Amino acid sequence: MAPPMFALPNGYALQEYRIEAMIGAGGFGLTYLAHDGNLNTKVAIKEYLPADFALRSEDQTVQPKSSAAQPTFEWGLKRFLDESRTLASFRHPNIVRVMRFFQANQTAYMVMEFIAGKSLNDWVRAHGSLNEAGLVSIALPLLDGLDVIHKSGYLHRDIKPPNIFIRDDGAPVLIDFGSARMNLDPNKDLTSIVSPGFAPLEQYHANGKQGPWTDIYSFGGVLYWLVTGKKPVEAVGRIREDIQPSAVSLGDRKLYGVEFLGAIDWALKPNEQDRPQTVSAFRDALARGRGAPPMVTALSSMQEAAAVSMPVSVAFDKDWLKRVEQDVAGHLGPIASVMIRNAARKSATVVALLDTLAAELPEGIARTAFVRKFTGDQAPPLSMRLQPVSGTASQQPASEPMGATAMQRFGIDVLKQAETALAQHIGGIAKIVVRRAAQKARDERELYLLLGDEIADREERKAFVRKVLTPPARP
Protein backbone atom coordinates (compact mmCIF):
# COMPACT_ATOMS: atom_id res chain seq x y z
CA MET A 1 0.00 0.00 0.00
CA ALA A 2 1.54 3.29 -1.09
CA PRO A 3 1.35 5.80 1.78
CA PRO A 4 -0.51 9.06 1.03
CA MET A 5 1.42 12.31 1.08
CA PHE A 6 -0.06 13.21 4.48
CA ALA A 7 1.13 10.05 6.29
CA LEU A 8 3.91 10.18 8.86
CA PRO A 9 7.21 9.20 7.22
CA ASN A 10 8.81 5.83 7.87
CA GLY A 11 11.32 6.12 10.71
CA TYR A 12 9.43 8.96 12.41
CA ALA A 13 9.79 8.92 16.23
CA LEU A 14 6.50 9.21 18.09
CA GLN A 15 7.29 9.07 21.81
CA GLU A 16 8.76 5.60 22.38
CA TYR A 17 7.45 4.34 19.03
CA ARG A 18 9.16 4.36 15.64
CA ILE A 19 6.90 4.36 12.58
CA GLU A 20 7.82 1.54 10.18
CA ALA A 21 5.03 1.68 7.58
CA MET A 22 1.48 2.81 6.95
CA ILE A 23 -0.77 -0.26 6.84
CA GLY A 24 -4.25 1.22 6.60
CA ALA A 25 -6.21 4.36 5.77
CA GLY A 26 -9.83 5.34 6.34
CA GLY A 27 -12.06 8.37 6.53
CA PHE A 28 -11.15 9.10 10.15
CA GLY A 29 -7.42 8.44 10.10
CA LEU A 30 -4.40 6.30 9.33
CA THR A 31 -2.98 3.12 10.83
CA TYR A 32 0.74 2.45 11.10
CA LEU A 33 2.98 -0.47 11.91
CA ALA A 34 5.43 0.73 14.55
CA HIS A 35 8.16 -0.57 16.85
CA ASP A 36 7.77 -0.10 20.62
CA GLY A 37 11.24 0.80 21.91
CA ASN A 38 10.35 0.10 25.55
CA LEU A 39 8.86 -3.36 25.04
CA ASN A 40 10.88 -4.22 21.90
CA THR A 41 7.79 -5.37 20.06
CA LYS A 42 5.62 -4.42 17.10
CA VAL A 43 2.43 -2.45 17.61
CA ALA A 44 -0.26 -0.90 15.43
CA ILE A 45 -0.93 2.81 15.92
CA LYS A 46 -4.06 4.58 14.71
CA GLU A 47 -3.79 8.33 14.16
CA TYR A 48 -6.79 10.69 14.21
CA LEU A 49 -6.61 12.49 10.86
CA PRO A 50 -10.07 12.96 9.31
CA ALA A 51 -9.28 13.57 5.65
CA ASP A 52 -12.47 15.53 4.95
CA PHE A 53 -11.68 18.39 7.32
CA ALA A 54 -8.02 18.09 8.44
CA LEU A 55 -4.54 18.01 6.94
CA ARG A 56 -0.93 17.62 8.01
CA SER A 57 1.43 20.59 8.20
CA GLU A 58 5.12 20.51 7.31
CA ASP A 59 6.03 20.09 11.00
CA GLN A 60 3.87 16.89 11.07
CA THR A 61 1.15 18.45 13.21
CA VAL A 62 -2.47 17.89 12.21
CA GLN A 63 -4.59 20.98 11.60
CA PRO A 64 -8.22 21.68 10.62
CA LYS A 65 -8.48 22.71 6.97
CA SER A 66 -10.19 25.94 7.89
CA SER A 67 -11.57 27.90 10.82
CA ALA A 68 -15.01 26.63 9.87
CA ALA A 69 -13.75 23.04 10.25
CA GLN A 70 -12.25 23.72 13.72
CA PRO A 71 -15.35 22.80 15.80
CA THR A 72 -15.90 19.59 13.84
CA PHE A 73 -12.23 18.63 14.17
CA GLU A 74 -12.22 19.24 17.93
CA TRP A 75 -15.49 17.36 18.39
CA GLY A 76 -14.05 14.38 16.51
CA LEU A 77 -10.80 14.53 18.48
CA LYS A 78 -12.66 14.40 21.78
CA ARG A 79 -14.74 11.48 20.57
CA PHE A 80 -11.60 9.66 19.39
CA LEU A 81 -10.08 10.03 22.88
CA ASP A 82 -13.29 9.00 24.63
CA GLU A 83 -13.61 5.92 22.44
CA SER A 84 -9.93 5.05 22.92
CA ARG A 85 -10.44 5.19 26.66
CA THR A 86 -13.41 2.85 26.46
CA LEU A 87 -11.81 0.43 24.00
CA ALA A 88 -8.73 0.25 26.22
CA SER A 89 -10.97 -1.14 28.97
CA PHE A 90 -12.03 -4.15 26.87
CA ARG A 91 -10.31 -7.38 27.88
CA HIS A 92 -11.20 -10.22 25.56
CA PRO A 93 -8.93 -12.54 23.56
CA ASN A 94 -11.03 -12.07 20.40
CA ILE A 95 -11.06 -8.25 20.44
CA VAL A 96 -7.95 -6.38 19.34
CA ARG A 97 -6.31 -5.03 22.48
CA VAL A 98 -5.86 -1.26 22.88
CA MET A 99 -2.71 -0.82 24.98
CA ARG A 100 -2.69 2.97 25.46
CA PHE A 101 -3.58 6.28 23.85
CA PHE A 102 -2.01 9.74 23.93
CA GLN A 103 -2.00 13.16 22.31
CA ALA A 104 0.82 14.50 20.12
CA ASN A 105 1.19 16.55 16.94
CA GLN A 106 -2.03 18.36 17.94
CA THR A 107 -3.97 15.15 17.33
CA ALA A 108 -4.40 11.79 19.09
CA TYR A 109 -3.03 8.26 18.74
CA MET A 110 -4.32 4.85 19.77
CA VAL A 111 -1.74 2.10 20.32
CA MET A 112 -2.98 -1.45 19.69
CA GLU A 113 -1.49 -4.90 19.63
CA PHE A 114 -0.12 -5.88 16.25
CA ILE A 115 -1.82 -9.08 15.09
CA ALA A 116 0.36 -11.55 13.25
CA GLY A 117 -2.00 -13.31 10.88
CA LYS A 118 -4.26 -12.79 7.88
CA SER A 119 -7.51 -11.01 7.21
CA LEU A 120 -10.46 -13.36 6.85
CA ASN A 121 -10.44 -12.72 3.08
CA ASP A 122 -6.83 -13.85 2.71
CA TRP A 123 -7.22 -16.68 5.20
CA VAL A 124 -10.17 -18.16 3.30
CA ARG A 125 -8.28 -17.92 0.02
CA ALA A 126 -5.45 -19.91 1.59
CA HIS A 127 -7.59 -22.52 3.39
CA GLY A 128 -10.66 -22.90 1.18
CA SER A 129 -14.25 -23.50 2.27
CA LEU A 130 -15.09 -24.39 5.87
CA ASN A 131 -17.76 -26.77 7.07
CA GLU A 132 -20.24 -25.86 9.78
CA ALA A 133 -17.93 -26.96 12.59
CA GLY A 134 -15.17 -24.77 11.22
CA LEU A 135 -17.42 -21.73 10.88
CA VAL A 136 -18.84 -22.18 14.37
CA SER A 137 -15.32 -22.38 15.83
CA ILE A 138 -14.63 -18.95 14.31
CA ALA A 139 -18.04 -17.35 14.88
CA LEU A 140 -18.67 -18.15 18.54
CA PRO A 141 -15.47 -16.62 19.98
CA LEU A 142 -16.04 -13.48 17.89
CA LEU A 143 -19.62 -13.25 19.14
CA ASP A 144 -18.32 -13.52 22.70
CA GLY A 145 -16.14 -10.49 22.02
CA LEU A 146 -18.97 -8.61 20.30
CA ASP A 147 -21.16 -9.22 23.33
CA VAL A 148 -18.54 -7.52 25.51
CA ILE A 149 -18.62 -4.50 23.18
CA HIS A 150 -22.40 -4.26 23.27
CA LYS A 151 -22.60 -4.58 27.04
CA SER A 152 -20.17 -1.67 27.28
CA GLY A 153 -22.68 0.46 25.39
CA TYR A 154 -20.86 0.39 22.06
CA LEU A 155 -21.57 -0.81 18.53
CA HIS A 156 -18.79 -1.85 16.14
CA ARG A 157 -20.75 -0.80 13.01
CA ASP A 158 -18.27 -2.06 10.44
CA ILE A 159 -18.08 -5.86 10.73
CA LYS A 160 -16.92 -7.30 7.42
CA PRO A 161 -14.31 -9.87 6.29
CA PRO A 162 -11.35 -7.41 6.19
CA ASN A 163 -12.08 -6.42 9.81
CA ILE A 164 -11.77 -9.99 11.06
CA PHE A 165 -8.26 -11.35 11.45
CA ILE A 166 -7.19 -14.93 11.98
CA ARG A 167 -4.05 -15.08 14.09
CA ASP A 168 -1.22 -17.38 13.11
CA ASP A 169 -2.37 -19.68 15.94
CA GLY A 170 -5.87 -19.86 14.41
CA ALA A 171 -7.72 -17.58 16.86
CA PRO A 172 -10.14 -15.07 15.28
CA VAL A 173 -9.93 -11.40 16.28
CA LEU A 174 -12.30 -8.50 15.62
CA ILE A 175 -10.36 -5.38 14.62
CA ASP A 176 -10.81 -1.80 13.35
CA PHE A 177 -13.05 0.11 15.74
CA GLY A 178 -12.77 3.32 13.73
CA SER A 179 -16.54 3.32 13.18
CA ALA A 180 -17.48 2.24 16.71
CA ARG A 181 -19.98 4.49 18.45
CA MET A 182 -21.78 4.77 21.73
CA ASN A 183 -25.33 3.43 21.69
CA LEU A 184 -26.55 4.49 25.12
CA ASP A 185 -29.27 6.78 23.77
CA PRO A 186 -31.66 5.01 21.33
CA ASN A 187 -32.75 8.41 19.98
CA LYS A 188 -29.22 9.67 19.35
CA ASP A 189 -28.24 10.42 15.75
CA LEU A 190 -25.37 8.28 14.48
CA THR A 191 -23.23 9.18 11.52
CA SER A 192 -23.77 7.15 8.38
CA ILE A 193 -21.20 4.35 8.02
CA VAL A 194 -21.77 1.96 5.14
CA SER A 195 -19.95 -1.12 3.82
CA PRO A 196 -22.23 -2.22 0.96
CA GLY A 197 -23.53 -5.74 1.40
CA PHE A 198 -22.61 -5.89 5.08
CA ALA A 199 -24.35 -2.75 6.37
CA PRO A 200 -28.08 -2.94 7.20
CA LEU A 201 -30.56 -0.34 6.00
CA GLU A 202 -30.55 1.61 9.28
CA GLN A 203 -26.90 2.54 8.68
CA TYR A 204 -27.74 4.34 5.44
CA HIS A 205 -29.25 7.34 7.22
CA ALA A 206 -28.24 9.24 10.35
CA ASN A 207 -31.54 8.67 12.16
CA GLY A 208 -31.69 4.92 11.60
CA LYS A 209 -32.53 2.85 14.66
CA GLN A 210 -29.17 1.24 15.34
CA GLY A 211 -28.48 -1.28 18.07
CA PRO A 212 -26.99 -4.76 18.64
CA TRP A 213 -29.16 -5.98 15.75
CA THR A 214 -27.12 -3.70 13.46
CA ASP A 215 -23.85 -5.55 14.17
CA ILE A 216 -25.70 -8.87 14.04
CA TYR A 217 -26.81 -8.10 10.46
CA SER A 218 -23.20 -7.41 9.47
CA PHE A 219 -22.00 -10.56 11.22
CA GLY A 220 -24.67 -12.56 9.43
CA GLY A 221 -23.44 -11.03 6.18
CA VAL A 222 -19.95 -12.34 6.83
CA LEU A 223 -21.30 -15.84 7.48
CA TYR A 224 -23.48 -15.61 4.34
CA TRP A 225 -20.36 -14.75 2.33
CA LEU A 226 -18.46 -17.68 3.87
CA VAL A 227 -21.30 -20.14 3.19
CA THR A 228 -22.33 -19.03 -0.31
CA GLY A 229 -19.18 -17.39 -1.65
CA LYS A 230 -21.31 -14.35 -2.51
CA LYS A 231 -21.55 -10.97 -0.83
CA PRO A 232 -25.09 -10.20 0.40
CA VAL A 233 -27.27 -7.96 -1.75
CA GLU A 234 -26.90 -4.33 -0.68
CA ALA A 235 -29.59 -3.45 1.87
CA VAL A 236 -31.12 -0.64 -0.19
CA GLY A 237 -31.79 -3.16 -2.97
CA ARG A 238 -33.95 -5.27 -0.66
CA ILE A 239 -36.48 -2.61 0.39
CA ARG A 240 -39.41 -3.08 -1.99
CA GLU A 241 -38.65 -6.69 -2.82
CA ASP A 242 -36.15 -8.92 -1.07
CA ILE A 243 -34.23 -10.35 -4.02
CA GLN A 244 -31.49 -11.95 -1.95
CA PRO A 245 -31.38 -15.77 -2.23
CA SER A 246 -31.52 -17.32 1.23
CA ALA A 247 -28.58 -19.09 2.80
CA VAL A 248 -30.87 -22.08 3.24
CA SER A 249 -31.40 -22.27 -0.53
CA LEU A 250 -27.72 -21.73 -1.47
CA GLY A 251 -25.83 -23.51 1.31
CA ASP A 252 -24.34 -26.93 0.69
CA ARG A 253 -26.39 -29.34 2.85
CA LYS A 254 -23.41 -31.69 3.04
CA LEU A 255 -21.50 -28.98 4.90
CA TYR A 256 -24.20 -27.01 6.74
CA GLY A 257 -27.37 -27.89 8.59
CA VAL A 258 -30.71 -26.19 7.92
CA GLU A 259 -30.84 -24.64 11.41
CA PHE A 260 -27.40 -23.10 11.01
CA LEU A 261 -28.27 -21.65 7.59
CA GLY A 262 -31.63 -20.46 8.93
CA ALA A 263 -29.86 -18.55 11.70
CA ILE A 264 -27.84 -16.68 9.07
CA ASP A 265 -31.01 -15.75 7.19
CA TRP A 266 -32.58 -14.57 10.46
CA ALA A 267 -29.64 -12.21 11.08
CA LEU A 268 -30.01 -10.76 7.58
CA LYS A 269 -33.69 -9.78 7.80
CA PRO A 270 -34.09 -6.32 6.19
CA ASN A 271 -36.31 -5.05 9.02
CA GLU A 272 -34.29 -4.65 12.22
CA GLN A 273 -37.24 -5.76 14.36
CA ASP A 274 -37.25 -9.15 12.63
CA ARG A 275 -33.61 -9.94 13.47
CA PRO A 276 -32.09 -11.35 16.67
CA GLN A 277 -32.05 -8.45 19.11
CA THR A 278 -29.06 -9.66 21.15
CA VAL A 279 -25.82 -11.49 20.49
CA SER A 280 -26.85 -14.28 22.85
CA ALA A 281 -30.03 -14.94 20.84
CA PHE A 282 -28.07 -15.13 17.60
CA ARG A 283 -25.39 -17.28 19.15
CA ASP A 284 -27.99 -19.70 20.48
CA ALA A 285 -29.44 -20.05 16.97
CA LEU A 286 -26.05 -20.75 15.39
CA ALA A 287 -24.99 -23.23 18.04
CA ARG A 288 -28.33 -25.05 18.17
CA GLY A 289 -27.78 -26.72 14.83
CA ARG A 290 -24.73 -28.53 16.21
CA GLY A 291 -26.45 -29.76 19.35
CA ALA A 292 -24.72 -27.14 21.49
CA PRO A 293 -26.48 -25.80 24.59
CA PRO A 294 -27.99 -22.33 24.81
CA MET A 295 -25.07 -20.03 25.53
CA VAL A 296 -25.16 -17.68 28.51
CA THR A 297 -23.22 -14.51 29.16
CA ALA A 298 -19.51 -15.28 29.43
CA LEU A 299 -18.44 -15.69 33.07
CA SER A 300 -15.39 -14.08 34.54
CA SER A 301 -12.64 -16.44 35.66
CA MET A 302 -13.79 -16.16 39.28
CA GLN A 303 -17.45 -16.78 38.45
CA GLU A 304 -16.50 -19.70 36.22
CA ALA A 305 -14.50 -21.26 39.06
CA ALA A 306 -17.37 -20.79 41.48
CA ALA A 307 -19.77 -22.46 39.04
CA VAL A 308 -17.62 -25.57 38.61
CA SER A 309 -20.01 -27.63 40.72
CA MET A 310 -22.79 -27.16 38.16
CA PRO A 311 -21.28 -28.54 34.95
CA VAL A 312 -22.93 -29.16 31.61
CA SER A 313 -22.31 -32.80 30.83
CA VAL A 314 -21.50 -33.97 27.32
CA ALA A 315 -21.11 -37.66 26.54
CA PHE A 316 -18.31 -38.18 24.00
CA ASP A 317 -17.54 -41.51 22.39
CA LYS A 318 -15.08 -43.27 24.75
CA ASP A 319 -13.05 -44.98 22.03
CA TRP A 320 -12.63 -41.68 20.18
CA LEU A 321 -11.54 -39.93 23.38
CA LYS A 322 -8.97 -42.68 23.96
CA ARG A 323 -7.46 -42.06 20.52
CA VAL A 324 -7.32 -38.33 21.22
CA GLU A 325 -5.63 -38.99 24.56
CA GLN A 326 -2.98 -41.18 22.95
CA ASP A 327 -2.21 -38.46 20.42
CA VAL A 328 -1.96 -35.73 23.08
CA ALA A 329 0.21 -37.97 25.28
CA GLY A 330 2.73 -38.18 22.44
CA HIS A 331 3.30 -34.44 22.89
CA LEU A 332 2.69 -33.79 26.60
CA GLY A 333 3.15 -37.13 28.35
CA PRO A 334 1.04 -38.67 31.17
CA ILE A 335 -0.73 -35.38 31.95
CA ALA A 336 -2.79 -35.99 28.78
CA SER A 337 -5.32 -38.17 30.60
CA VAL A 338 -6.08 -35.43 33.12
CA MET A 339 -6.31 -32.79 30.39
CA ILE A 340 -8.72 -34.91 28.34
CA ARG A 341 -10.94 -35.53 31.36
CA ASN A 342 -11.11 -31.84 32.30
CA ALA A 343 -11.61 -30.65 28.71
CA ALA A 344 -14.36 -33.20 28.05
CA ARG A 345 -16.16 -32.15 31.22
CA LYS A 346 -16.24 -28.48 30.18
CA SER A 347 -16.76 -28.73 26.42
CA ALA A 348 -20.18 -28.66 24.78
CA THR A 349 -19.01 -29.66 21.29
CA VAL A 350 -16.29 -31.65 19.60
CA VAL A 351 -14.81 -28.43 18.22
CA ALA A 352 -14.69 -26.81 21.67
CA LEU A 353 -12.96 -29.88 23.10
CA LEU A 354 -10.35 -29.95 20.34
CA ASP A 355 -9.77 -26.18 20.60
CA THR A 356 -9.03 -26.53 24.31
CA LEU A 357 -6.55 -29.35 23.75
CA ALA A 358 -4.90 -27.83 20.67
CA ALA A 359 -4.08 -24.69 22.65
CA GLU A 360 -1.74 -26.78 24.82
CA LEU A 361 0.18 -28.32 21.92
CA PRO A 362 3.29 -26.74 20.41
CA GLU A 363 2.43 -24.18 17.74
CA GLY A 364 3.03 -25.14 14.13
CA ILE A 365 2.84 -28.48 12.35
CA ALA A 366 2.02 -30.56 15.44
CA ARG A 367 -1.00 -28.46 16.35
CA THR A 368 -2.28 -28.28 12.77
CA ALA A 369 -1.91 -32.03 12.27
CA PHE A 370 -3.77 -32.72 15.53
CA VAL A 371 -6.77 -30.56 14.56
CA ARG A 372 -6.97 -32.02 11.05
CA LYS A 373 -6.77 -35.55 12.35
CA PHE A 374 -9.71 -35.26 14.72
CA THR A 375 -12.09 -32.81 13.01
CA GLY A 376 -14.36 -33.13 10.02
CA ASP A 377 -16.58 -36.02 9.07
CA GLN A 378 -14.73 -38.44 11.36
CA ALA A 379 -15.69 -36.50 14.49
CA PRO A 380 -18.02 -38.67 16.62
CA PRO A 381 -21.58 -37.81 17.49
CA LEU A 382 -22.21 -36.66 21.04
CA SER A 383 -25.15 -36.42 23.36
CA MET A 384 -25.73 -33.69 25.90
CA ARG A 385 -27.50 -33.21 29.19
CA LEU A 386 -28.27 -29.69 30.38
CA GLN A 387 -28.38 -30.58 34.06
CA PRO A 388 -25.74 -31.50 36.63
CA VAL A 389 -24.63 -35.11 36.51
CA SER A 390 -25.25 -36.98 39.71
CA GLY A 391 -22.11 -37.09 41.81
CA THR A 392 -20.09 -34.96 39.41
CA ALA A 393 -19.39 -32.12 41.82
CA SER A 394 -17.82 -34.34 44.45
CA GLN A 395 -15.66 -36.08 41.88
CA GLN A 396 -14.17 -32.92 40.40
CA PRO A 397 -10.76 -31.81 41.59
CA ALA A 398 -10.51 -28.58 43.57
CA SER A 399 -8.22 -27.07 40.95
CA GLU A 400 -7.02 -27.90 37.49
CA PRO A 401 -3.44 -28.84 36.63
CA MET A 402 -1.40 -26.19 34.89
CA GLY A 403 -1.04 -26.79 31.13
CA ALA A 404 2.47 -27.43 29.87
CA THR A 405 2.37 -24.47 27.48
CA ALA A 406 1.40 -21.99 30.20
CA MET A 407 4.09 -23.32 32.53
CA GLN A 408 6.77 -22.97 29.86
CA ARG A 409 5.58 -19.50 28.92
CA PHE A 410 5.73 -17.99 32.41
CA GLY A 411 7.59 -20.30 34.80
CA ILE A 412 6.49 -21.27 38.28
CA ASP A 413 8.06 -18.22 39.95
CA VAL A 414 6.08 -15.72 37.88
CA LEU A 415 2.81 -17.60 38.46
CA LYS A 416 3.41 -17.91 42.18
CA GLN A 417 4.18 -14.21 42.40
CA ALA A 418 0.99 -13.35 40.51
CA GLU A 419 -1.03 -15.68 42.73
CA THR A 420 0.34 -14.10 45.90
CA ALA A 421 -0.34 -10.58 44.65
CA LEU A 422 -3.89 -11.37 43.50
CA ALA A 423 -4.74 -13.22 46.72
CA GLN A 424 -4.41 -9.94 48.61
CA HIS A 425 -7.45 -8.69 46.70
CA ILE A 426 -9.69 -11.73 46.13
CA GLY A 427 -8.47 -14.34 48.62
CA GLY A 428 -7.85 -18.06 48.17
CA ILE A 429 -9.64 -18.31 44.82
CA ALA A 430 -6.63 -16.49 43.31
CA LYS A 431 -4.93 -19.84 42.69
CA ILE A 432 -7.66 -20.99 40.30
CA VAL A 433 -7.97 -17.58 38.65
CA VAL A 434 -4.23 -17.40 37.92
CA ARG A 435 -4.19 -20.88 36.42
CA ARG A 436 -7.08 -20.10 34.10
CA ALA A 437 -5.68 -16.72 33.07
CA ALA A 438 -2.28 -18.28 32.34
CA GLN A 439 -3.90 -20.54 29.74
CA LYS A 440 -5.14 -17.47 27.81
CA ALA A 441 -2.39 -14.88 28.27
CA ARG A 442 0.41 -14.63 25.71
CA ASP A 443 2.84 -12.72 27.95
CA GLU A 444 3.24 -11.48 31.52
CA ARG A 445 1.73 -8.11 30.65
CA GLU A 446 -1.49 -9.69 29.38
CA LEU A 447 -1.55 -12.09 32.35
CA TYR A 448 -1.63 -9.20 34.82
CA LEU A 449 -4.25 -7.34 32.76
CA LEU A 450 -6.52 -10.40 32.80
CA LEU A 451 -5.99 -10.87 36.53
CA GLY A 452 -6.62 -7.19 37.18
CA ASP A 453 -10.10 -7.56 35.71
CA GLU A 454 -11.02 -9.70 38.72
CA ILE A 455 -10.37 -6.85 41.19
CA ALA A 456 -13.53 -4.87 41.86
CA ASP A 457 -11.96 -1.74 43.34
CA ARG A 458 -10.74 0.54 40.55
CA GLU A 459 -7.75 2.01 42.43
CA GLU A 460 -6.61 -1.41 43.65
CA ARG A 461 -6.87 -2.71 40.09
CA LYS A 462 -4.73 0.15 38.76
CA ALA A 463 -2.09 -0.48 41.41
CA PHE A 464 -2.06 -4.19 40.63
CA VAL A 465 -1.32 -3.76 36.92
CA ARG A 466 0.96 -0.72 37.29
CA LYS A 467 4.10 -2.83 37.42
CA VAL A 468 3.59 -4.06 33.85
CA LEU A 469 2.05 -0.92 32.37
CA THR A 470 4.75 1.42 33.67
CA PRO A 471 8.04 1.24 31.71
CA PRO A 472 11.06 0.44 33.93
CA ALA A 473 13.10 3.44 35.06
CA ARG A 474 16.21 4.05 33.00
CA PRO A 475 19.50 3.75 34.92
Taking 70 as the threshold, does the pLDDT of residue 122 lie above it?
yes
Tens digits of per-residue pLDDT, 381-416?
444 333 333 333 333 333 444 555 666 677 778 888
Please provide the CATH number assigned to the domain covering 13-113.
Answer: 3.30.200.20
For the chain, the helix, strand and coil percentages under 3-state DSSP, each to the nearest 5: 45, 15, 40
What predicted TM-score, i.e. pTM, was given to this entire model?
0.58
Residues recognised as catalytic:
158
User: Residue 91's Cα: distance from chain center in Å?
Assistant: 9
CA distance 409 to 432: 18
The pLDDT-based confidence of 13 (bands split at 50, 70, 90) is very high
Per-residue pLDDT averaged across 40-61, rounded?
92
Tens digits of per-residue pLDDT, 318-332?
777 888 888 887 776
CA distance 450 to 434: 9
Tens digits of per-residue pLDDT, 184-214?
444 444 455 678 999 999 988 777 789 999 9
Count the residues in the chain: 475
Domain 117-288 has CATH 1.10.510.10: yes
Residue among 439, 87, 92 nearest 299 (CA)? 92
Domain boundaries of the chain, sorted by first residue: 13-113, 117-288, 301-395, 404-469
Mean confidence (pLDDT) of the chain:
78
CA distance 340 to 356: 9
At 105 the pLDDT is: 96
Lowest mean pLDDT among 92-106, 170-184, 263-277, 461-475: 461-475
At 173 the pLDDT is: 93
Taking 80 as the threshold, does the pLDDT of residue 297 lie above it?
no
Residue 154's DSSP bridge partners are 182
Q: State which H helix or E strand residue 174 sits in.
A: strand 172-174
